[in-house]
Structure 1
C-alpha cells in the first residue's frame, strides 16, 4: 500500500497534506454588520491610543476606511481616545475638532495631541494608559528596527502587554529590512502581545464562506488566481507613482491579494516566484489620464503598468497574481479564484460589493451569493476588542485572522514579486542589447 502511485492514492490521502497550511477562520454567520450590533457591555472606560491622523484613521472620500468610526460603534460611550500621535499637529487638531463637534464628543473631549509616542509617554498620567494602540501611520514609518521607524518596538517598550492593531502593509522600507520585520514579529509573539494586522479582506463574510466550504469538504487547494486592476485616474498621490517612496504597486496596493492568496494557498516557496512587467517606457505602457506629472519622478523609480507573477506553494499548489494599472474612472476590478478537486470559488469585487461564485461537483452551474451589507473593517475591529476583553467563552467566536508574522510573510512575497519582475526586465534588456 505504501508504494501506490500518486494516481492510485485516495483523495483523503492527498487532502490531508494541506491541513498544516490552513489558517484561522471564523464562522461567516458570526460576522454581524455594524448596524446590527449593540455597544459592548460594561461601564468602565476603554482607553485607546491612535497613532496617525490620516485617512485610514478618520476617513476620506476615497474609500470606506475609517478606524475611528468602527471603534466608536463597537465601544460606544466606553471609548476614550487618550491621545492622537501625529507630527502634523494642525491636521490632528482639526480632525479632533470635528469629532468634538459631533455626537461622539465624549470619546474625544479629553484627547491630547503629541508629535511622538515618547512625548505622550513623558506626559501621560496613570489613568491614560491605553488598552489598545492603533497604528495608522504611513508604512514607511513602521516595520523596521531603525530609530524613527520602529513604532512597534516603541509600543512594546513603553506599553508591554498592551494590544496593538497595525495597518498593512507592515512596511514599505528597503527589502534588506525584511529580516527586521521578522524580528519584530518574534518579539511580539514571545511577549504574548495581542496583535492584529489590517488585512481586512480576510474578515469578509465571502472569504470566510470560502474557508468554510474548503474545511467542511476537507479540500486541498490546487491553485489560486488573483487579479487586481486599479483605476489609476483617481490616484493623485505622487508618492504612489514613485517606487522609491511607495515601494511600488505590488508592495503597497497588491498586498491585499497576495495576502488572500496566501490565506488560501498556504506558505509560498519564495525560490519559485517568477514575474514579468510592462514598464512605463514600453509602447503598451503609455497612460493617457494620469493625475500626476510623472516627469518629476526619476525614470528608474517610475512604477510598472502591469506585473504578472506565478509561484509554487509549499503544498505543491500553484499561485498567480496580475496587477494592472489601466482603468480610468473610480471603480477598481478585482477577483480571486480558488480551485480544489471539483470546486471553484470565485470572489468578485471584494472592496465594494462582495460577490461569491461557487461551482461544486455534480453541477456545472455556478451558485452566486451576494453580501451587500458586509463591513470587514468593523469585523476586524470587533474581533480585536472581543479578544482584548476576553468576554466570549466560545473559542471560535473571535479570532485574529492576520498575525504580525503572517503579515511579514505577505510582505516578503510582494517584495519577491517586485524583484522577480525587475530581474526579468533586466534580462530582456540584456537580450535586446546583445541582439542589436
Structure 2
C-alpha cells in the first residue's frame, strides 16, 4: 500500500538514545513522515514519548505489531542491529539502519540476505551522502574536474568532553572514534572516489589510556590506484572535522575550514567549502592555478534522508546507501582496527573482523 501524496507516512523509531532522539525530533516536523511510535525499554525513552504524546513500547516487536508503521528507523546498540532489522523486514517494513549497518560483517550479511529474500530495502544512515555539498562534489568528480583521482586526504579531529566517556562502552573496544566517527569519512571517500582496496593503520590510546583508541592514522589504497590518508582523534583541540566545518547540525559552532582534499590529474576539490583548483591554460607547477567555488543553499541532510526513506518505501527511489554499501564501509572501518593490530596491509576481501 502506498501513502497518498498529502498524508505523512508513519515510521517506527526503534531506539531513543542520542541518535534516535535526533530522528524523532526531525520526523515530528517533517512534511513527508510521522512517528508511528517509539520502542526503547529505558525510563528516559518512556518519559520522552509521554512528553511528546507518542506511543511507547518497551519491546520493538510490540511496536511493529500494534502500530501502522510503513517503515522503521533502527537506532539501537550495534550488536542488535541485525536482529531488530530482520524483525522489521519480516513484517515487510523498509529499514533505515543507523551506522554501522551491524557490529560484524557476518551479522550485516545476515541482515542483507534477509532483505534480499523478502524484497525489502535496507538503507544505512550515512547521512553525509544526502548533504548537497557531497552531492555537488560527486557531480564534479563525475564531470571530470579531478581527472584521474591521485590522492585524497581527510581529517576528523576534535575534543570530546570528559563527560562523554561516563558511559562504559565508550571506553571499550568498538566504542572509539574509528567506528563511531571515522566510518563516516570512509563512506564519504568511497562515495566520491570509489572502492577501497587495502588499508594500513596505526592507533593510539596514549592520551586517555582507555582500552579504546583515541587517535588513528590510516593509509588507503583505492581500486582505481588513488591513495588516501585519514587522521582521526577525539583528544585534540582542532577545527578540522566535518561536523564543525559543514554546518550539518546547529549544536556545533560552524567554522570556515576545509577538512577533506581530493586531488587528481586535472584539478582538485576541497570540502566542505567546494573550492576547485585547475589550470586554465598551460599546465605545470610554474603556471598560475585558477580557483573557483560553488555556493550552495544549506540543507539538513537528516531531513533529506527522511524524504528519501519515504521515496524508497514507496518504490520511487533506490537506496542511496544500501545495506551492501553499508557492509563495504563497515569492512573498511574494521580493516583499520585489523591493520593496526597486525601491523600489516589488510586487503578488504580478506578481513577477519577482530572485534
- Contact 2:11-2:73 at 8 Å conserved across structures: yes
Superposition pairs of residues 177-256 of structure 1, within 5 angstroms:
177-217=104-144, 219-233=147-161, 236-238=164-166, 239=168, 241-244=170-173, 246=175, 248-256=176-184
Where 1:232 maps in the other structure, the secondary structure is: coil
Deviation by residue 1:388-409 (Cα, 9 ceiling, x = unmatched):
345x6xxxxx553211110111
> Which of 175, 194, 204 is residue 278 of structure 1 equivalent to?
204
TM-score, reference length from structure 2 = 0.80
Where 1:304 maps in the other structure, the secondary structure is: coil
> Which of 322, 338, 344 is residue 403 of structure 1 equivalent to?
322
- Structure 1 pair 415/96, CA: closer, same or farther in 2 (3 Å)? same
> Which of 15, 24, 27 is residue 68 of structure 1 equivalent to?
24
- Contact 2:12-2:37 at 8 Å conserved across structures: yes
- 1:95 paired with 2:51, answer no
Which has the greater radius of gyration? 1
Q: 2:100 is matched with which residue?
A: 169
Task: Please list every run of at least 4 consecutive aligned residues from structure 1 whose deviation after the TM superposition is greater than 6 angstroms.
Answer: none
TM-score, reference length from structure 1 = 0.66
Where 2:164 maps in the other structure, the secondary structure is: coil
- 1:417 paired with 2:308, answer no
- Contact 1:228-1:333 at 8 Å conserved across structures: yes
- Contact 1:56-1:136 at 8 Å conserved across structures: yes
- Structure 1 pair 230/141, CA: closer, same or farther in 2 (3 Å)? farther
Deviation by residue 1:172-219 (Cα, 9 ceiling, x = unmatched):
x3xxx3123123223323433122211011111111111111222384
Query: 1:180 & 1:371 partners in 2: Cα distance?
Result: 39
Query: 1:402 & 1:356 partners in 2: Cα distance?
Result: 22
- 1:377 paired with 2:331, answer no
Q: 2:19 is matched with which residue?
A: 56
- Structure 1 pair 311/327, CA: closer, same or farther in 2 (3 Å)? closer
Query: 1:121 & 1:131 partners in 2: Cα distance?
Result: 9
Q: 1:46 is matched with which residue?
A: 9
Superposition pairs of residues 74-93 of structure 1, within 5 angstroms:
74-75=30-31, 79=34, 81-88=35-42, 90-93=43-46
For the aligned residues, what is the CA RMSD? 2.7
Superposition pairs of residues 267-306 of structure 1, within 5 angstroms:
267-269=195-197, 272-280=198-206, 286=207, 301=211, 303-306=212-215
Query: 2:338 & 2:164 partners in 1: Cα distance?
Result: 25
- Runs of at least 5 residues in structure 2 that lack an aligned partner in the other structure: 243-258, 281-287, 345-355
- Contact 2:221-2:227 at 8 Å conserved across structures: yes
> Which of 129, 132, 135 is residue 71 of structure 2 equivalent to?
132
- Contact 1:233-1:328 at 8 Å conserved across structures: no
Where 1:402 maps in the other structure, the secondary structure is: coil
- Structure 1 pair 382/92, CA: closer, same or farther in 2 (3 Å)? same
- Structure 1 pair 328/119, CA: closer, same or farther in 2 (3 Å)? same
Query: 1:311 & 1:75 partners in 2: Cα distance?
Result: 40
- Structure 1 pair 347/82, CA: closer, same or farther in 2 (3 Å)? same
Q: 1:333 is matched with which residue?
A: 241
Deviation at 1:152, TM superposition (A): 1.2
- Structure 1 pair 94/318, CA: closer, same or farther in 2 (3 Å)? same
> Which of 105, 118, 124 is residue 61 of structure 2 equivalent to?
118
- 1:324 paired with 2:248, answer no
Query: 2:278 & 2:312 partners in 1: Cα distance?
Result: 35
Which stretch shifts more, 360-369 or 91-100? 360-369
Deviation at 1:48, TM superposition (A): 1.8
- Contact 1:312-1:319 at 8 Å conserved across structures: yes
Deviation at 1:376, TM superposition (A): 0.9
- Contact 2:39-2:59 at 8 Å conserved across structures: yes
Query: 1:195 & 1:342 partners in 2: Cα distance?
Result: 37
Query: 2:214 & 2:159 partners in 1: Cα distance?
Result: 12
